[in-house]
Structure 1
Amino acid sequence: MKPITLEDLNAASKADFVAVLANAFEHSPWIAEAAADQRPFATIAELLAAMIQTVQQAPLDRRMALIKAHPDLANKTQRAAGLTADSNAEQNGAGLDQLSDAEYAAFERVNTAYRNKFGFPYIVCVRRHTRDSILRDFERRLPNEMAKEIEQSIAEICRIAALRLDQLVSGGERLAVNGRLSTHVLDTHSGKPAAGIPIELIEICALGKNRVIARAVTNADGRTDQPLIHGRPLPIGQYELSFCTGLYFAKKQVPLSDPPFLDRIPIRFAIAEPEGHLHVPLLVTPWSYGTYRGS
């Protein structure tokens, strides 16, 4: 669906305003209804702040209803019954529709333990996480007291809403909810950018299969035409960048051993800042390579 401009949203009827933003907060159009009465908004950030304030000032029973409106993560029964389009897309984007048997068992175990303790579903902004980091977050939060976990759940709901709002409304300065991962390859043997090197970005998974997140080929500047991840958060987790350098040096007619000493170079790294800008370059010769953390 094409985003609506903030100008058009401010001018819309209350019914149309609510229809656009009804599911920014899962199954809770009352939040959009309250925001509609506070128009006009000068920025999307101002709109988000008004909606968050409505949630934070709501009585406890209404905040609990908001928490309980969310589905469990990776729950086969709930997925079969049908999730909202937003929840389905968010869970699929994190690979929760492609779990291994071991991952399903792990999610079932922590979902059950969490519900048994707190009486409501575990909520996390899955677009900011990999499967492994979601499971780690489960374990970190299970020891929490009830009041702290209610507060944490509301904070995660507001993060989810911010990302949904970023997709629903355009105009003016965007919300600071997305990150960027980029790379470049410098051929330090020739002192020039390395063009034509195939790259794969792989998500490393402890219990399931590793996932290829992106593929690209370096351009004349030794960079990819687009960042490897952009326009969304950088999911917290472990990754590998794989660079096919052997064929590149062979095409350059650089003398190589047979087989090449360095044919495919893997660089493993971690992402910890979903809204950050992370640059992971490769400096390479036929016999050595290096990297560093850039931004």
Structure 2
Amino acid sequence: MTISLDALNAAPAAEFTAHLGAVFEHAPWVAEAAAARRPFATVEALFSALREAVAAAPEARRLALLTGHPELAGRAARAGRIAQASIAEQAAAGLDRLSEAEFARFEALNAAYRERFGLPFILCVRRHGRASLLRRFEARLASDPETERRSAEAEVLRIAALRLDALVTGAGALRVAGRLSTHVLDTVRGGPAMGVAVELAELVSATESVVVARAETNADGRTDAPLIAGRPVPVATYELRFGLGDHYRRAGLDLPDPPFLDLVTLRFGVAEPEGHYHVPLVASPWSYQTYRGS
């Protein structure tokens, strides 16, 4: 349930802490410290106060903040014995739907990481697709303890920013969301292509993809809403699949059988979760092109 920034500013300290206590995993003391600095003019100012409370905390508390995070796809997560926010975040990343082989891989990585650093591996999973998540996990295993501590703290702040953005409405919202959109231009007719079926899929591996969104272009050649919006665009390789052949068949064009272009697939990568990616298709029955817009 969301709450306005004005209501948080006016709430008793205990109520303020109750609303924001789960923004940092098992660490309501962060919200308690920030409550004394009210009122906040913007949500950004509120987040700054929370971040500064973490930075000013004693070493033992800061370490406990890290160790309080659950392992990714670990046994506690599989059994549902972690915080509700973490359950939702791991589920959104597909970590509750892994194969036994994938769970075993995560278990081995979790054990190796904890043995090397004495911490759970912490990553803001809502900013990553599954393939990117595993690459980051393996890469950070090669890090040194000091660098990894800084990385873990930075990821805790990213997780907290997304949780706060979902909880609090008001001026000066945090910039934590990206956007992915598309449109189709028909060079035969010299205008937008209406009624083109569009499918967005995330490539998980060389043999697996997961459909993220399906839509159809409207009279402007665009989808009625972005394919991803209101959240980070996970770091991943994607495919946009356009039913171009069906569009031209409905338009009455005399196409060969099979058509030269039927299902057009654009494969592209997203490296900036908070970025704006516009990936259009400019097409005829015989050619197509694309580019990155914004």
Moved more, 144-153 or 99-108: 99-108
Q: TM-score, normalised by structure 2?
A: 0.97
- Is the CA contact (8 Å cut-off) linking 1:100 and 1:207 kept in structure 2? no
Separation in structure 2 between the aligned mates of residue 228 and residue 253 of structure 1, nearest angstrom = 28
Deviations 1:205-243 (A, max 9, x none): 117731100111000000001000000001001100000
1:114-153 aligned at under 5 Å gives the runs 114-153=113-152
Moved more, 192-201 or 204-213: 204-213
- Is the CA contact (8 Å cut-off) linking 2:179 and 2:276 kept in structure 1? yes
CA separation of 1:207 and 1:288: change in aligned 2, threshold 3 A: closer
Q: Unpaired runs of 5+ in structure 1?
A: none
Q: What SS does the corresponding residue of 2:202 show, helix, strand or coil?
A: strand
Separation in structure 1 between the aligned mates of residue 102 and residue 268 of structure 2, nearest angstrom = 22
Separation in structure 1 between the aligned mates of residue 90 and residue 141 of structure 2, nearest angstrom = 21
Q: TM-score, normalised by structure 1?
A: 0.97
Say whether residues 1:61 and 2:60 are aligned partners: yes
CA separation of 1:182 and 1:257: change in aligned 2, threshold 3 A: same
What is aligned with 1:91? 90
Shift of 1:261: 1.4
Q: What SS does the corresponding residue of 1:215 show, helix, strand or coil?
A: strand
Separation in structure 1 between the aligned mates of residue 120 and residue 42 of structure 2, nearest angstrom = 32
Q: What SS does the corresponding residue of 1:158 show, helix, strand or coil?
A: helix
CA separation of 1:276 and 1:81: change in aligned 2, threshold 3 A: closer
Say whether residues 1:181 and 2:210 are aligned partners: no
Query: Structure 2: which amino acid aligns with 1:59?
Result: P
Separation in structure 2 between the aligned mates of residue 207 and residue 113 of structure 1, nearest angstrom = 25
Say whether residues 1:15 and 2:14 are aligned partners: yes
What is aligned with 2:280? 281
What is aligned with 1:78? 77
- Is the CA contact (8 Å cut-off) linking 1:200 and 1:215 kept in structure 2? yes
Query: Structure 1: which amino acid aligns with 2:230?
Result: G
Deviations 1:176-202 (A, max 9, x none): 100000000000111110000111100
Q: How many residues align?
A: 294
Q: Unpaired runs of 5+ in structure 2?
A: none
Moved more, 191-200 or 80-89: 80-89
What is aligned with 2:194? 195
Query: Structure 2: which amino acid aligns with 1:279?
Result: H
What is aligned with 1:158? 157
CA RMSD of aligned residues (A): 1.2
**Moved beyond 6 Å, runs of 4+:** none
Q: What SS does the corresponding residue of 1:261 show, helix, strand or coil?
A: coil
Q: What SS does the corresponding residue of 1:25 show, helix, strand or coil?
A: coil
Separation in structure 2 between the aligned mates of residue 163 and residue 80 of structure 1, nearest angstrom = 24
Q: Give % identity.
A: 55
- Is the CA contact (8 Å cut-off) linking 1:201 and 1:212 kept in structure 2? yes
Q: What SS does the corresponding residue of 2:79 show, helix, strand or coil?
A: helix
- Is the CA contact (8 Å cut-off) linking 1:245 and 1:264 kept in structure 2? yes
Shift of 1:30: 0.1
- Is the CA contact (8 Å cut-off) linking 2:17 and 2:32 kept in structure 1? yes
Query: Structure 1: which amino acid aligns with 2:284?
Result: T
Deviations 1:29-50 (A, max 9, x none): 0000000011000100001011
What is aligned with 2:213? 214
What is aligned with 2:225? 226
Separation in structure 1 between the aligned mates of residue 162 and residue 35 of structure 2, nearest angstrom = 19
Shift of 1:262: 1.1
Separation in structure 2 between the aligned mates of residue 103 and residue 240 of structure 1, nearest angstrom = 23
